[in-house]
Structure 1
Amino acid sequence: MDDERLHETASELRLATFRLARRLRSVRAVDSRNTAMSDAQLAVLAALRAHGRHSLTALADRERVTAPTMSAVVTGLEEQGYVTRIPDDQDRRRVHVEITAAGEKVVTETFERRTRLIMTEITELDLTDDELRVLHEASILMRKLAEL
């Protein structure tokens, strides 16, 4: 692929990803007008749901934020009842964070609402089987790119 084609592809992918992400962020199980659920908080809940209990430091590393920032995010989640802090048995200075049943419910409902939104929009596009296959294959490649 030549540089011009690569630039065009990267630019289109950036724009499409940004627009889709913005639309998906607007859909969540917690009404953001009534609570303080942020995208950062939802990301932490999703990480805890997927990977289990983490220390604050490990969560900060995973989400690529500072430890004080992560502490503030976790405090907000704890106040809403979505996570609990568990002291480390060997080192009392260390704290682990674990998702609660309420936190699991928020993540599950939010992801399901977002999936239904995309399903509805794909249906409205009335894609052919070939287009749907290409979209599926592109989603796999996008996930690889996101996980770098």
Structure 2
Amino acid sequence: MPRSLALSNDLRIAVARLSRRLRRAVADETLGFPHMSALGTMQKCGAITLQELSTKERVTPPSMLRTVQGLVDHGYVDRTPHETDGRKQLLVITDEGQQMIEETRRRRNLWLATQIDALTPDERQTLQQAARIMERLAESDA
């Protein structure tokens, strides 16, 4: 059994709670986490098919179809014909979608920065070190 089991439990809980708190700071409160996650992936990847988006988000295509339809209904995503395969469509973020993502990021960063500013200098330094370590953990293959 790993020696750091208690620490891993504490860290997992803290990360989950912080993540939930940050998810509440959105520019459009009618959207849930799946919508924001899909938009973020589309922003990072550019034009993408539903199948590719489903794979990247690790959800089934029918589930992603419902998520994408909500984004289309809000005007945050457009469907365009695929350049080489007439059976497929590409999903593209609209300007309104881009603005909503940027505003959400601004709100989340502002909330978190305000919380960090309330910490002591030593706590901020510790948090900076922890951020680098957490990034390394997130990118590990093990």
TM-score by structure 1 length? 0.87
**How many residues matched?**
140
Match of 1:44 in 2: 38
In structure 2, the partner of 1:19 is 17
1:140 partner letter: R
Cα-to-partner distance string for 1:86-125 (whole Å, 9 max, x where unaligned)? 1213212111101011111111110110011111111222
Closer, same or farther in 2 for the Cα pair 1:122/1:7, shift >3 Å?
same
| Pairing 1:43-82 to 2, within 5 Å after superposition | 43-82=37-76
Q: Quote the offset at 1:147 in angstroms.
A: 4.1
AA of the residue aligned to 1:58: E
Q: Decide which of 109, 114, 127 is 1:115's aligned counterpart.
A: 109
Distance across 1 between alignment mates of 2:46 and 2:78: 12
How many angstroms apart in 2 are the aligned matches of 1:71 and 1:7?
Answer: 38
Task: Name the SS of the counterpart of 1:54 in structure 2.
Answer: coil
Q: Which runs of 4+ in 1 moved over 4 A?
A: none
User: Whole-Å Cα distance in 2 between the matches of residues 147 and 63 of structure 1?
Assistant: 17
Give distance in 2, aligned partners of 1:43 and 1:61.
Answer: 13
Residues 37-72 of structure 1 show CA distances to partners (whole Å, capped at 9, x for unaligned) of 111111111111122111111110111000111111
RMSD between superposed Cα atoms in Å: 1.6
Q: Which runs of 5 or more residues in structure 1 are unaligned?
A: none
Distance 1:147 1:106, change over 3 A: farther
Displacement after TM superposition at 1:22 (Å): 1.2
Residue 3 of structure 1 aligns to a residue in which SS? coil
- For the residues of structure 2 that align with 1:23 and 1:88, how far apart are their CA atoms? 38
**Within-5 A mapping of 1:130-141:** 130-141=122-133
Partners of 1:57 and 1:70 lie apart in 2 by 8
Alpha-carbon distance in 1 for matches of 2:139, 2:92: 23
- 1-structure distance, mates of 2:40, 2:23: 14
What secondary structure sits across from 2:80 in the alignment?
strand
Q: TM-score normalized by structure 2?
A: 0.90
Identity within the alignment, %: 35
